[in-house]
Amino acid sequence: MANAANSLVYAQSFYLNKMCPGWDALIGLDYKWVWPIVSRKKYGIAYLYQPHFTQQLGPFFLPGVEMDNWHPAIEVLQKQFIFWELNINFNIDAALFKPPFELVSGTNLVLPLNPAFNQLEKNFSNDLTRNVKQAIRSRMEYTTCTDHTLALQTYHMQYKSRMPQLTTANFHQWAGLITAAALKGMVLCRKVVDQDNGLMAIALFLNDGRRLYNIMNSTTEAGRKSSANHLLLHQLIAEFAGSDLLLDFEGSDLPGVKAFYQNFGGENQPYLKVKYNALPWPLRLFKR
């Protein structure tokens, strides 16, 4: 994974171990490619699914590996799993999946951080610049933090009602992942506080040496009114400008979230949402 042309943190073994214990993999000759396989069984039927907090998987490959190598892998998976709902990573061509596969493009905005900050900010929207100035006038401060538990608790409190599909167990898994990543020195925590040190926004980022993943981002009600998250990401970009990292906003297809991240001048690096349904009738009707 460290040398893959399309390396992503989601496919590293420590990440998979925490988010989908018991995962498997298809492996190409001499490890030229690896495809993590995440499956479950329900009513005796084995199926492929996308784990929570794991945006993209699919095949990962060394530079120069040809896409045709994976057609046999797909055929093997079709025989073993008759239902798929997967997100396939950004560097896989849609031509790999012929009907009856159904494909939808997912949005993922990214921003290369190698230019100097004064070059990056030329692409910021006027709305972003105005909101950042408002936050600065409100005497808010961007700072580092080490309290990962605070970030997790804030995220859970702010968004659990909006994500009913996530259970308490899912959040415990997520906490375990953050702990494992922190032991590897991969976690960054940044926050914005008001002049009384009250929390306005807090975010966790994973750094795999290639990307900064905006893995968990929370804004309090007071922070939303004061544009705290605008300031947080603005200052994060200033902090890492001139580096070789890519800021990965992790989305989004939600119109409001997408519009917010577009303010920072990033570009869309789309990925594939793949669905395959060979369930027997009438089960097929319930999984259209």
Q: What is the CATH number of the domain that holds 255?
A: 3.40.630.30
| Residues 116 and 254 reside in one and the same domain | yes
| Residues 261 and 280 reside in one and the same domain | no
Q: What is the pLDDT of residue 288?
A: 54
Q: How many residues does the chain have?
A: 288
Q: What is the pLDDT of residue 286?
A: 57
Classify residue 4: in a domain, yes or no.
Answer: no
* Domain region containing 260: 109-268
Q: What are phi and psi of 109, to 5 degrees?
A: -90, 135
| Residues 151 and 213 reside in one and the same domain | yes
| Residues 22 and 92 reside in one and the same domain | yes
Q: What is the pLDDT of residue 237?
A: 98
Classify residue 2: in a domain, yes or no.
Answer: no
Classify residue 3: in a domain, yes or no.
Answer: no
pLDDT tens digits, residue range 77-131? Answer: 999 999 999 999 999 999 999 999 999 999 999 999 999 999 999 999 999 999 9
Q: What are phi and psi of 69, to 5 degrees?
A: -60, -20
Measure the CA dihedral 43/48/51/56, to 10°. Answer: -170
For 22-31, what is the mean pLDDT? 93
pLDDT tens digits, residue range 251-288? Answer: 888 899 999 999 999 999 999 999 999 998 766 655 65
| Residues 253 and 117 reside in one and the same domain | yes
> Domain count of the chain?
2
